[in-house]
Each structure stands twice: as C-alpha cells, then as structure tokens.
Amino acid sequence: MTLERPTRLIAFSAVLENPSFSLLGVLWRRLRSALNSLPMHSSVLIFQQLNAANTFRFYLIPDDNSVKQAIENQEMQWNSKFIPKPPPFRPLFLGCKYQVTTTKPARITPQTQLPFYYKSPKEQQLFVEIYIKNMAKEIGLLMTDTRDGIEVWRASLRSGDTNLPARVSRTGAAFMKENKTMLCSRMGQLSTILMYLRDANVINSDEEEEVQRQDTSLKRNRALLKLVEKKGLEAQEQFYQILCRQDPYLMEDLELS
C-alpha cells in the first residue's frame, strides 16, 4: 500500500488525477494464473470423530508438514482419531477443485467438491465431512479432477481402520497412575511430546524449559509426569492422547502388560 496526495477534495470523495499505480497487482494475477498450471505434491488427511459414529473429516492439503501439524493439533482438541492413507498418485494443481465420492452410500457435506488451496498453518483448513451410515463392510473413497474427470486418488476404509483400540475407553489419569514407573524409564520423543503439550496449552514455554533442564532422560520424564499430574484430569487426558499418537507401540505394550 502507498499513500497518494489527492488532486482535490470534494464533499464526499477525493479526486486523484493521472495516478501511477504499482504493477504488482498485474504481476500477481499473472503469477496466480501460472500457479494453476504448476503441479504440486499433496496429502490427504482423514480423521474419525470419536464422539460421532461413522463421521470423518477429509482434508486435501499441499505436502507441508507445518500445515499437517496444525491440522493434527486441532483434531486432537476435537477428540479425533487419525486414519493414515496414501497421498494422491499424481500431482494436483492449486486453485483447482477435486470431487470426493464414495463407493457406497454416504453423506458428504457441505459439498462433494473440495478446492485445493495453500492456506497458512494459522488459518482454518478446508475439509469435507463424510458420514457413512453402514460401516460393516469396506467402503472405497475416490477423488477425481473436476476439469477432466481423471481419478487422482483412491483408498479404502475398512472396519479395522475405524475400530477404536481398547485403550481409548480408559482415562488418561488411570493410565498414568498404573504406568508411571514404566513411563519414566521408557518414554521417548520427549521434545515432540513437549511441543504438542505446549501447542495444546497444557504447558507453557517456561514449564517446557524447566523439564528440559533436567540432566538425564529419566529425570526429564519424571519431571514431565509430575507436572502433568499437577495440571489435573484434562491435562492428563491430553497427555495420554498425545502418547497414543506419537508412540503407539509403547502404549500398546504397556496396555498389554
């Protein structure tokens, strides 16, 4: 933006004669047109809503880890389960729309066409919601380019994808109480866990530094568990869900033992 001195002022307007505006606007329009013709790698993210039977959120995003992490953080707060699926098998184009369909009856809202945009990780990402009435059998998900009808992605949702693990029904507080000693000695990926806890506003940056200042991994794990316990039941539940996502093999082993 620039400030221009008007040639003259009248009652309800300003007159600017022979203005010389920047060509950036013209260049940006041409750049956007060019972007629509450039292929870009993308990712499909699917989350199951745990508090709504057979309801899924479907995201189509550029292959950007910061955008993916922002979505995962939001979905974690919404109590959702991530269902990993492969990315589209051909590059997509920014600004184009892609049709999402299913092989069996399903309700897709707000519409079946999902535009492919790049949005900042700080913005709410676009998604469609898919409700499948009968999940007893396998159901196929497809995505096609609305310009030529060519299929760009295909995957299947199976009962094994959507069955909730037994541990979901337990509370985080109960799990921490029963497994505190083992978590102290075996919990890894501490930096990642701390980052997710901070993003979920369970801890702040000062508390994160306090944990990291401990001189051994055992002491750091013990300090984190003690801190989360002091925060209350909701904090312990958030911590539990983060562990389920970040270290599922450890969690499965602890549950079985």
pLDDT digits (tens, 9 = 90+) for 82-102: 888 899 988 899 889 999 999
Give residues with Cβ within 8 angstroms of 224, minimum separation 6.
190, 193, 194, 211
The predicted pLDDT at position 145 comes to 94
Chunked mean pLDDT (size 10), the chain, 257 residues: 83 82 66 66 90 86 89 85 89 91 91 90 91 81 94 86 49 83 88 86 89 90 91 86 82 77
Q: Which domains are present in the chain?
A: 40-162 (2.60.40.2660), 166-256 (1.10.533.10)
Whether the CB-CB separation of 46 and 58 falls below 8 Å is answered with yes
**150: amino acid identity, one letter:** I
CA–CA distances in Å: residue 61 to residues 152, 158, 177, 252: 14, 23, 39, 30
